[in-house]
A and B are shown apart, each in its own frame.
Chain A
Amino acid sequence: MKPKVAFFDFAGCEGDQLQIANLEEELLSLLGHVEVVSFREIMKEHGSDYDIAFVEGSCTRLGDEDRLKEIRKNAKTVVAIGSCATIGGINSLKNDKDPDEVGKTVYGDKAKWFDTYAARPIDAVIPVDVYVHGCPINKDEFLSVFKSLLQGKKPDIPSYPVCVECKKNENVCAFDRHEFCVGPVTRAGCNSCCINEGTICWGCRGLVDNPNENAHKEVLLKYGLTVDETINKFRLYFAWQRRRK
């Protein structure tokens, strides 16, 4: 029997599901192996009987926790897709600020109607089996994880940093271009796509398991970043991961 899959979204831009919808031809081949019961970006039906749940977005409201727990109860496998779901993402930037201030900036005088709390990845609420990192996720990596799930194999999620892929792609180091990059402490798997295009790594895939942050901070300072700028580099995507340590 084909495994049933469902897609869910929480606080996020739904850009990861868009990446999946954009698989186009490959998506058709994938659909031969599974039955999609819920995916609001591409279909109007919705079912609650599923084996694999793909969850996008971070949890930013107490009320979202029940929905997440319900998903965990129904699904055999929960896959977090995208930075918001895997590491708290950009949403966690607000965690460093005064919540009342944040509420006022976003919702103005209606802030009291919105019950939000510190943004968190979904594994802060429910156990997660598989992570597909990235902002947005990398289509090739999603396909490889999807195939591994179908084969019952542990997906190959790299434990090494972006520098490894960047060197394989023979890029000029961002630091040699007088730019600052968090690739040395960020988990690879994206095929160093941003640096390939001439920019820098912002760290959307989160920190590697054992990052040498102190050495990296020294490098940033040595190359001329101020302490505040260095902290900001680490805050953009790593806010939740660093607070938890």
Chain B
Amino acid sequence: MACGSCVLVCPTCYCFDIRDNPDLTLERGERVRTWDGCLLEDFAKVASGENFRPTKPARYRHRYFKKGKYLFDRFGFVSCVGCGRCSSNCLPDIANPVALFNEMYQETLKAGIEIASPAQAEICIQTQDKIDFLPKLATIVRKLPMTASETLFEIRLNDGTSLGHQPGQFVEVSVFGIGEAPISVTSSPTREGTFELCVRKTGSVTTSLSALNIGDIVGIRGPFGHGFDVDLLKGKDLLFIAGGLGIAPLRSLFNYVLGKRSEFGQVTILYGCKEPCELLFEDEVMSWTNRKDITHRLTVDRCREEDQWKDNIGVITTLISGVDFDPEKTYAIVCGPPIMYKFVVKELKNRKIPDDHIIMSLERRMKCGVGKCGHCQINEIYVCKEGPVFNYAKIRGVPEAL
């Protein structure tokens, strides 16, 4: 029935949401944590409207796997205490994890299967003050509108420290009174003192953020997540594939590579967007033309005659066939809208790139950023901690990943 009763009464369910509640002055307010549940429709939905767990069966599957498998693998016990609250509150009588888990246990005994306990249960009790929930204040020092919907912000932390991020990591940006949103850092860590965010007007936070000006204060938490493994990529040939706003996280690595060019092999960048007017970082893209040490190709899905577009027209995969690379030496680094990955991976595999040479940055609803709220999970994987950058070899075959 998708009513969510079972997750709300479950004593081991812990997923939560965070809201900003301004008071009637609209100048003060509070940020509150409320219960949330993975069975509710919008649980994994991001501001763009993409829902990463869109169907009722997918959400139901996630709940059972989380209780019986993901948490078992992490902590060594099934996360159902057998209290019967969910089954007694379930009107259609479909929730009965106790019976299910017991039956599965009996079956494994009968079949003589040894259930492997996790080698070392990852139990660590964190007190509230040790978790990075409190934003640091930061000031916008530069604002550069790039297209009708994207703006580049340069931000400095008020305490004078550098952000200290790896390429590919993200921060949680607070617009006080509106909320918090995860935004990937687009500047290279080699830049000191300030960092850059490329923001697309999509939901409430990014729309309000885009309306802020130089000197305005925002909140920053992070950097969070696992970025690109720069040491792994050293000495290798790199093939960057960026679709639309996917250029933003890739730029943090790309500019890092350009800054230390001699440490890497051949560098190729393929960048596509819907229309010429949506091209981001136009000045930088133009400057690539003058560099002899990189190859770049641009494409748009469609264009009008007055755009005077001279490069390729077609989806991003049409560019892949036009570039030469040695599949054994090359690492492909991919970021774009969710729909893009499937096709790009297929094309790369046609070109014989091994799975572990495909690296991708994935989008999910990373609400808390610290692996607590549950919104960003792909199966057992917390994207905010283990991602957003993944090696394809790790996530291929994971049902919810691509």
A70 at the B interface (CB under 8 A): no
Interfacial residues of chain A within 6-48, with CB under 8 A of chain B in the complex: 26, 29-30, 33
Among listed A52-60, A80-88, A129-137, A144-152, interface-contacting one: A144-152
Contact residues in B for A33 (Cβ distance below 8 Å): 26
Contact residues in B for A219 (Cβ distance below 8 Å): 1, 91-92
Given A167-B89, A168-B35, are A154 and B204 also a contact pair (CB < 8 Å)?
yes
Contact B208 A151 (CB under 8 A): yes
CB distance from B180 to the nearest CB of A (A): 13
Bound together, the chains give a CA A223 to CA B203 distance in angstroms of 42
Contact residues in B for A150 (Cβ distance below 8 Å): 26
Given A164-B4, A210-B41, are A30 and B91 also a contact pair (CB < 8 Å)?
no
A234 at the B interface (CB under 8 A): no
Bound together, the chains give a CA A185 to CA B42 distance in angstroms of 15
CB distance from A84 to the nearest CB of B (A): 26
CB distance from A44 to the nearest CB of B (A): 26
Contact residues in A for B25 (Cβ distance below 8 Å): 29
CB distance from A148 to the nearest CB of B (A): 8
If over half of B's interface residues share one DSSP class (helix, strand or loop), that class is named, otherwise mixed; here it is: loop
Q: For the side of the interface on A, what is the size category?
A: 35 or more
Given A152-B207, A210-B2, are A175 and B91 also a contact pair (CB < 8 Å)?
yes
Contact A160 B41 (CB under 8 A): yes
Contact residues in A for B178 (Cβ distance below 8 Å): 151, 153
Contact residues in A for B56 (Cβ distance below 8 Å): 212
B338 at the A interface (CB under 8 A): no
Contact of B2 (CB < 8 Å), options: A152, A167, A212, A223: A212
B3 at the A interface (CB under 8 A): yes
Contact residues in A for B401 (Cβ distance below 8 Å): none
Contact residues in B for A143 (Cβ distance below 8 Å): 24
Contact residues in B for A168 (Cβ distance below 8 Å): 8, 35
Please name the residue on chain B nearest to A25 by beta carbon.
Answer: B24
Contact A184 B24 (CB under 8 A): no
Bound together, the chains give a CA A163 to CA B22 distance in angstroms of 26
Contact B8 A164 (CB under 8 A): yes
B76 at the A interface (CB under 8 A): no
B211 at the A interface (CB under 8 A): yes
Please name the residue on chain B nearest to A214 by beta carbon.
Answer: B1
Contact B40 A159 (CB under 8 A): yes
Contact B1 A215 (CB under 8 A): yes
Contact A151 B177 (CB under 8 A): yes
Please name the residue on chain A nearest to B55 by beta carbon.
Answer: A210
B99 at the A interface (CB under 8 A): no
Contact A160 B1 (CB under 8 A): no
A89 at the B interface (CB under 8 A): no
Q: Which residues of B contact A (CB under 8 A)?
A: 1-5, 8-9, 19, 21-22, 24-26, 35, 37, 40-42, 56, 89, 91-92, 177-179, 203-204, 207-208, 211
Q: A153-B178, A168-B8 are in contact. List 6 more A-B contacts (CB 8 A).
A: A153-B207, A156-B19, A163-B4, A163-B5, A212-B2, A215-B1
List the 9 closest A-B pairs by CB distance, nearest first: A167-B8, A29-B24, A163-B3, A184-B3, A153-B204, A215-B1, A160-B40, A219-B91, A154-B204
